[in-house]
Amino acid sequence: MTSAIPFLDIAAAHQELRNELDAAYARVMRSAWFILGNEVAAFEDEFAAYCTAKYCVGIGNGLDALHLILRALDIGPGDEVLVPSNTFIATWLAVTHAGATPVPIEPIAVTHNIDPALIEAAVTPRTRAIIPVHLYGQPAEMAPIVAAAKYHNLKVIEDAAQAHGATYHGMRTGVLGDAAAFSFYPGKNLGALGDGGAVVTNDSAIAQRVRELSNYGSKQKYVHDHAGYNTRLDELQAAFLRAKLPVLDEWNARRVALADRYMTRLASANLLLPVVTNAAESAWHLFVVRVKERERVMRALTDAGIGVQIHYPIPPGRSAAYAKTNAAAADCALADTLSREVVSLPIGPHLSNEQVDRVCEVLLATLAAS
Ligand SMILES: Cc1ncc(COP(=O)(O)O)c(C=O)c1O
């Protein structure tokens, strides 16, 4: 009996960094300082440097990071924001929470990332920003997105929740637009032991405004300039993230090697493999393939003890949350198709070559039996 292969082995990650994580916890416990202290300040400096950005502001989660960037840019009621039709719903919710309207743009079929060629037709006098998502860890096609944004005077907000350390033309995510939102949800490439997020930017005004909005709209304790929020990265999570940041590149490299292995082993299988463009180096947050007969394929993998997931089974515009909006009526045929065909295979820094080989073996046998 072969042992189960988890979709992502977070326990193994913690085992590898056990001493560092224990020390981080002990430091924060001893300090007895839990909100906005040295750990958060140090992590902000370290993560900004990692992204080659000037500023990083710790936030409570990735959704709030996106939302606060929009608020900092004064984007709100009456404004439209271009978003991918194919993304996790948080990208859309941030726009909705800001009071603006998400306008879906279909993806490029092979990369699943937002299609820059469709921006032009979607821009109206109300359009204020575009949020490219670096989906599955692969940077979106940023050069034409930034060019179109410049031409139409739009802000570019990177949703980098899945793409810590990925690069586009050699530049790290976080500095590819006006500001970027990161998530440190536990399963991310850089994951906390709870919720966490950050805004990264080279724009001091955005950084300052986001910082105030995240902390009750105040620069100075008990002085409130804006009707802000309480959404801050906490000291304990920052300390854990400081323990993990030094290994992020190494762990991403392990993901790259495993993705290459999948690509080689599955090259002639009857499925669509991920495609990474020349300009991009993916952080391989997810390894997503497209298959016909998804149910049968997923059942075979699950029966063999292999953890698989779907990212995502329902496009945001098809969710009940958006049923009463114009987005529900938008033609998002490609997002619909992807939602029916995508399967995410196990990937992560603690998956072995042998485990990848086993996944491929089961997958190839299943596809051959159709
Ligand atoms: C593409 C994308 N955007 C935004 C988010 C929101 O991040 P969080 O879960 O930290 O709020 C996530 C992850 O959950 C995501 O995958």
Predicted pLDDT of residue 330: 86
Closest CA to 252 of 137, 332, 152, 340: 137
Q: How far is the CA of 55 from the centre of ligand 1 (A)?
A: 20
Predicted pLDDT of residue 19: 98
69, 297, 337, 347, 355 from 300: Cα distances, Å: 43, 5, 21, 18, 16
Q: How far is the CA of 88 from the centre of ligand 1 (A)?
A: 7
Q: How far is the CA of 199 from the centre of ligand 1 (A)?
A: 13
Beta strand 101-105 with 197-201 is: unpaired
> How far apart, in whole angstroms, are the C-alpha atoms of residue 166 and residue 111?
15
Q: Which two tokens stand for residue 288?
A: 């997503």
Predicted pLDDT of residue 329: 84
Predicted pLDDT of residue 2: 73
- CB distance 182 to 209 below 8 Å: no
Q: How far is the CA of 59 from the centre of ligand 1 (A)?
A: 12
| Amino acid letter, 20 | E
- CB distance 280 to 167 below 8 Å: yes
- In order, the DSSP letters of 325-358 are SGGGGS--HHHHHHHHHEEEEP-STT--HHHHHH
User: Which pTM value belongs to this model?
Assistant: 0.98
- Atom of ligand 1 lying closest to residue 188 CA: 13
Please state the φ and ψ torsions of residue 50, each to the nearest 5 degrees: -60, -40
Predicted pLDDT of residue 113: 98
What are the strands, taking DSSP E only, across the chain?
55-59, 80-84, 101-105, 127-130, 155-159, 167-168, 171-172, 179-183, 197-201, 218-220, 223-224, 280-281, 287-290, 342-345
Q: How far is the CA of 188 from the centre of ligand 1 (A)?
A: 9
| Amino acid letter, 13 | A
Residue whose Cα lies nearest atom 8 of ligand 1: it is 62
Q: Which residues line ligand 1 (CB under 6 A)?
A: 61-63, 87-88, 90-91, 133, 159, 161-162, 183, 185, 195, 197
Q: How far is the CA of 56 from the centre of ligand 1 (A)?
A: 17
Q: Which two tokens stand for residue 86?
A: 């194919």
> pLDDT under 50 in the chain at which residues?
none
Predicted pLDDT of residue 336: 97
- Atom of ligand 1 lying closest to residue 185 CA: 10
- Sheet containing 280-281: order of strands: 171-172, 167-168, 280-281
* 183, 188, 282, 311: residue to mutate for ligand 1 pocket, most atoms within 8 A of CB: 183
Burial call 344-370: b when 16+ CB within 10 Å, e when fewer = bbbbbbbbeeebbebbbebbbebbeee
| Amino acid letter, 356 | V
> How far apart, in whole angstroms, are the C-alpha atoms of residue 109 and residue 94?
25
> How far apart, in whole angstroms, are the C-alpha atoms of residue 138 and residue 135?
6
Predicted pLDDT of residue 370: 72
> How far apart, in whole angstroms, are the C-alpha atoms of residue 157 and residue 66?
8
Give just the sign of the alpha carbon dihedral 41, 45, 47, 51. Answer: positive
Predicted pLDDT of residue 1: 52
Predicted pLDDT of residue 56: 99
Q: How many CB atoms lie within 10 A of CB 121?
A: 8
User: In a 3-state reduction of DSSP, which class is residue 7?
Assistant: coil
